Copies of this chain bind each other. A is one copy, B any other.
Amino acid sequence: MPRKKTKKQQIIQAAIEVFGKKNFREAGISEIARLAGVADGTIYEYFKSKQHLFFSIPLERTKVFCQQLNRHLEDSKDTPDKIRRLIWYYLYFFKINPDYARSLMLEMRVNKDFAKSRSSKSFSPFMKALIEILEQGQKEGGVRRDLPARLLRQVLLGSLEYVVTRWLLKGEKYDLLRDYEEMSEAILGGIGDHAGGRVPGQEDLPR
């Protein structure tokens, strides 16, 4: 039990705070250093560059997210329930971590360098877990079998990211969980196994 955090942790903690309030450009190394109680140069002992420091943030946060998510899904009774709980926790997590939400959704998520970075790999467990849940649902029932889990995940994540992003852009003025129930139904509607029945007009695709 390290009562006093390591210097590296101090820096990361300061970075989360500063990058949460300002965007990447506006945030300054000096401000982070001051908040962390170290000299500017010290940051470069632990991180190659400002961007590396920035991209290090999810490394820690993602772990916390996944742990708590797992605990939250533990006693789900079936896959739809699990997905509903996942949606709920996803929204809840960003609701209580708006600083991180801003960095992640408005900056990292659309950054090519981030996409190529080691840090973005920290989402893999979550992405894989999603696939597993969906595939389990396809096996056990509750999730449509006519489409690859990868596509269903796109609908699920796309919808969620969209909702969080709009909320951030609007200044976080309303409750992010506001539409949780209906959102769940809309998403589950798309990936549930009742869907995928014959839909009129699908034979003649445009062009």
Contacts and interface: CB of A to CB of B under 8 A. Distances in A.
Interface of A: 25, 72, 77-78, 80-81, 84-85, 88-89, 105-107, 109-112, 115, 142, 144, 146-148, 151-152, 154-155, 157-163, 165-166, 168-170, 179-192, 194-202, 204-207
Interface of A is mostly: helix
Nearest to A190: B190
B205 A84 contact: yes
Contacts of A191: 186, 189-190
B88 A205 contact: yes
A172 B135 CA distance: 27
A147 to B, nearest CB: 5
Contacts of A197: 194
A9 to B, nearest CB: 26
A154 B163 contact: yes
A187 B155 CA distance: 7
A123 B95 CA distance: 27
B110 A106 contact: yes
Contacts of A81: 200-201, 204
Contacts of A182: 147-148, 151
Nearest to A163: B154
Contacts of A109: 110, 165
Given A163-B158, A194-B195, A202-B185, A169 B88 contact: no
6 contacts: A88-B205, A112-B168, A154-B186, A184-B202, A188-B190, A194-B194
B181 A186 contact: no
Contacts of A205: 84, 88, 180-181
A95 to B, nearest CB: 12
A134 B166 CA distance: 20
A189 to B, nearest CB: 3
A52 to B, nearest CB: 18
A89 B206 CA distance: 9
Contacts of A115: 169-170
